[in-house]
Structure 1
């Protein structure tokens, strides 16, 4: 399966093929903002993205760790309101007491909007939370990436992996009203865009580090085989809403997570480092937790 990524290097936008290997030079191809998204919506499906990267004839070689190299969320435009982070809740089979019937009528899962694409964070960047969260929960998830064309038709680009950090303690205090507040923690994504259908299975381990040492760890599994609903039913329903089909919008759609630290009674604290090792796909997403500062509007 092909993998692409975008980044900034020395103040210019580039793209690459595959995942860079630490210590080895990796070729970057110069691309203009929006060029890859345009190639996707022009036709050819996700694989058109690989060809668009390779057509960038101006190249440079870089090595991971170069201080001038900064990775970007997949296909994120520079325009501040052209990306949307959103997702589904309660999607995993483990949260139901039964299996779905083969011809069962689709009931949409709970849905939330988390923020603009510019709010996304990359690996190793801090994830800021409210100043006084009740009980934080990391959520390793598959994130689908869609780009709307000029007519507002969504085009599937591929998938990546994210951490939908949220305050489950606040959510559980009032699930019908306070969930939007609970979701107001920053979200991280890996920059690697896998150019294939949503994975049936993605597995790995979560490690929460405190003071440089593992304080909690456990396995996780996500992917379409873990879901109660079919992805095509969820996305078909979601994109029936015109607001999500705004031309040019890049949509980062989180598919939900299984049980994790909270369900084991572990509390994530300020300064902890969350490490999500997606072993099945050879990628790691690590971010420190940073409590925000409380502020109020000034008149």
Structure 2
């Protein structure tokens, strides 16, 4: 049985609409043009996002297996969430959250640790021990990073552009939590989406203190916003396609059953900061992964296509890799 999903659609004339999919049935909604608008209405009505969508169903149906797949290739599906003011959308995330995620990071930095336990492994083990606190307790603090604002959000099928100075462009298949801050400062989780938390692992490998630099990259979101309680066990496949041929492929696991931290603990440590609870803001928070092509020694190149798929999402997230042209930046004194 498929889960309930929301999708954002833009037709050939540029008109935006929202689609609600429940099992095999998918309908356009009336009265709202964006998922953000629908979420605001749901909060005001005291309803769930699914209930708010069901109250706005039209008789206009959509064949997700055919029509939407064709539209995905045409670039008419938008990310699961966006914001009309790019500065009001934050991309951030947490690392070392998955069982097995520390091994690649630990190997990356072990040489500099001279045989001692690395900070990466220490943080991972802290998460294993205290990442699932009892109700009312504060759990272990995870690693946290900032990626950018809505300007860095990339739609399905659109290129992920690495800056000209990047040393690498690598995929990170993940679930991303999608949040809207209510008028009273309450963070509302709208659902989760499939994401590619695109990063520069070669820059990070040079020096762990460059992690912040390596994360200041674009990120892509799948078209489907999965509603309700996030599934605890998500199993998918991450692959890289070059000139029509799969050159790297590996399964990945995510969801709480495969993580060292509970989602509530990650959310609590993110939203404990008052500036992250500004009414009207949208947050896209990447929950981490344990599967990276770079950990297998694979080197990506321009033109490679990242493809991530995982049930219960019905559409894959695909993005080609590109490198932006070099741009000279000069600071001028006033």
TM category, shorter: 0.7 to 0.9
Separation of aligned partners in 1, 2:4 and 2:97: 27
Contact between 1:129 and 1:184, CA under 8 Å: does it hold in 2? Answer: no
Tell me what 2:223 maps to: 191
Shift of 1:159: 0.7
Summarize the alignment of residues 119-268 of structure 1 with structure 2, pairs less than 5 Å apart. Answer: 119-176=152-209, 178-268=210-300
Tell me what 1:44 maps to: 47
Shift of 1:29: 2.7
TM-score normalised according to structure 1 size:
0.88
Residue 40 of structure 2 aligns to a residue in which SS? helix
Q: What is the root-mean-square deviation of aligned Cα atoms in Å?
A: 2.7
- Structure richer in helix, relative to its length: 2
> How many pairs are equivalent?
293
Quickly say closer, same or farther: Cα 1:12–1:69, change in 2 above 3 A.
Answer: farther
Residue 248 of structure 1 aligns to a residue in which SS? coil
Greater CA deviation, 224-233 or 161-170? 224-233
Find 1:112's aligned residue among 142, 145, 148: 145
Tell me what 1:18 maps to: 21
Q: Deviations over 1:208-264 (max 9, x none)?
A: 111221111111111111211111111112111111111101111110011321111
Tell me what 1:28 maps to: 28
Q: Deviations over 1:29-51 (max 9, x none)?
A: 34245430212322223323422
Q: Deviations over 1:147-183 (max 9, x none)?
A: 111122111111111000100111121212x122211
Quickly say closer, same or farther: Cα 1:290–1:49, change in 2 above 3 A.
Answer: farther
Q: Which runs of 5+ in 2 are unaligned?
A: 103-123
Quickly say closer, same or farther: Cα 1:103–1:134, change in 2 above 3 A.
Answer: same
Quickly say closer, same or farther: Cα 1:188–1:19, change in 2 above 3 A.
Answer: farther
Shift of 1:106: 2.1
Contact between 1:205 and 1:276, CA under 8 Å: does it hold in 2? Answer: yes
- Structure richer in strand, relative to its length: 1
Quickly say closer, same or farther: Cα 1:216–1:103, change in 2 above 3 A.
Answer: closer
TM-score normalised according to structure 2 size:
0.79
Contact between 1:273 and 1:286, CA under 8 Å: does it hold in 2? Answer: yes
Residue 321 of structure 2 aligns to a residue in which SS? strand
Q: Which runs of 5+ in 1 are unaligned?
A: none
Separation of aligned partners in 2, 1:277 and 1:61: 21
Shift of 1:68: 7.9
Separation of aligned partners in 2, 1:181 and 1:121: 19
Greater CA deviation, 245-254 or 32-41? 32-41
Summarize the alignment of residues 252-291 of structure 1 with structure 2, pairs less than 5 Å apart. Answer: 252-291=284-323
Quickly say closer, same or farther: Cα 1:131–1:40, change in 2 above 3 A.
Answer: same
